[in-house]
Amino acid sequence: MAEGGVPGVEDVARLGKWLAANGITGGDGPPVVRLIGGGRSNLTYRLDVGATDGPGRGPLVLRRPPLGHVLPTAHDMAREYRVLTALTGTAVPVPRPVAICQDPSVVGAPFYLMDYVDGAVLRTREDAAVLSPAQAGLLSQRFVEMLASIHGLDTEAVGLAGFGKPEGYLARQLARWQRQWELSVTREMPGYEDLTRRLAAGLPAVSGAAAPGALVHGDYRVDNMLIVPGGEPRISAVVDWEMSTLGDPLADLGLALVYWIDPGEPDWLSLGAAASVTTAPGFATREQLAAQYARLTGRDLSRLGYYMAFGCFKLAVVLEGIHARFLQRKTVGEGFEREGQVVPVLIERAHRMLDDAG
């Protein structure tokens, strides 16, 4: 896609030819391409294509890596496509994958296509207006149940054997995200070096042994799912699997709870932007979510404080990378100027969580 994330005429024309050549459309002209906003990493576009009896009939969604500053091992379209293929038809709803293209000459980067799924992205407290407090409570339950379903999947049965190495997962994650920080960091960051030392010293003795081979989403939060509000709100799809692997499921829970702001609590992640959807009346608290997860899975959450601190560290690295792209003018959309401001807050929160856990 062209600079600024807006597809140029030539991009769309090449994409239209690729769609026709691969039998996804009937060759009835290029698609209408619109950016789906709100994401902070991979770029997502809706494609409206002409009617066809093929697998791509109706709207499609195109996913591609972000512009500029793409870190090694990050934004792997093939991995995300593999996960969607494996999860199609399971208890974890995902958009149906349609096709993948590894040739960067079509739109400027590898990409894949999936079906468009109806559902709302609930990101802010204002978005929660479609939910009553009772419905917000039900959605909180569905949120935890879905995470437990992801972690309970038989990864070999769905074709994800070898998708990751669960043993030693957290130690490798710590090393990996430290490397990503070194490639992304734009400034001196007080507390960062001490935080990595504390995380290394406190690693759980046997990472991932409680659930060998558990699928980890890697960025599980309310706005990475599509919600159909209705009488009883349901999750029509879980999306954004770019950081998924096999590993320690409690790392997923820890990061999910970092994202989850309790009802009535100041939203320290937004720093003055629109407050998180989970601050609205009726949503469960972090403590209630953790208790429900423990009941559903039987897992020991005695080290949950460590996992939440690790989630703060990981998110700090991710946001520093986004901040670096913002400084390079390679971000698409609004609000990116705030991401860098959250990084020191996350590092300070991680230290507090480790203090409390100790």
Q: Find the mean pLDDT for residues 94-100.
A: 97
Q: Which helix (H) or strand (E) covers residue 236, if one does?
A: strand 234-238
Question: Tens digits of per-residue pLDDT, 138-174?
Answer: 999 999 999 999 999 999 999 999 998 888 899 999 9
The predicted model scores a pTM of: 0.90
The predicted pLDDT at position 336 comes to 60
Q: Determine the Cα–Cα distance for residues 288 and 30; give it in Å rounded to an integer.
A: 49
Q: Find the mean pLDDT for residues 70-97.
A: 87
The predicted pLDDT at position 274 comes to 76
Question: Tens digits of per-residue pLDDT, 217-266?
Answer: 999 999 999 999 988 999 999 999 999 999 999 999 999 999 999 988 88
The answer to whether residues 309 and 199 touch, using CB atoms and an 8 Å cutoff, is: yes
At 29, the pLDDT band (50, 70, 90 cuts) reads confident
The predicted pLDDT at position 64 comes to 92
The answer to whether residues 118 and 61 touch, using CB atoms and an 8 Å cutoff, is: no
Answer yes or no: is pLDDT of 7 > 80.
Answer: no
pLDDT over 70 percentage in the chain:
86
At 208, the pLDDT band (50, 70, 90 cuts) reads very low
Average pLDDT, the chain: 88
Q: At what angle do helices 169-184 and 304-327 cross, to 10 degrees?
A: 20
Q: At what angle do helices 192-201 and 169-184 cross, to 10 degrees?
A: 170
Q: Tell which residue, 339, 249, 353, has the closest CA to residue 310.
A: 353
The predicted pLDDT at position 237 comes to 98
Least confident of 57-66, 174-183, 268-277, 296-305: 268-277
Q: Find the mean pLDDT for residues 315-338.
A: 75
Q: Find the mean pLDDT for residues 304-331.
A: 88
pLDDT over 90 percentage in the chain:
68
Least confident of 17-21, 59-63, 338-342: 338-342
Question: Tens digits of per-residue pLDDT, 114-130?
Answer: 999 999 999 999 999 99
Q: Determine the Cα–Cα distance for residues 174 and 320; give it in Å rounded to an integer.
A: 16
At 4, the pLDDT band (50, 70, 90 cuts) reads very low
Q: Find the mean pLDDT for residues 47-76.
A: 69
The predicted pLDDT at position 3 comes to 44
The predicted pLDDT at position 186 comes to 86
The predicted pLDDT at position 203 comes to 94
Q: Tell which residue, 132, 131, 146, 117, has the closest CA to residue 44.
A: 117
Structural domains in the chain plus CATH codes: 3-115 (3.30.200.20)
The predicted pLDDT at position 184 comes to 87
Phi first, then psi, for residue 354 (nearest 5°) are -65, -40
Q: Find the mean pLDDT for residues 8-34.
A: 86
Q: Which residue has the higher pLDDT, 357 or 87?
A: 87
Answer yes or no: is pLDDT of 67 > 80.
Answer: no
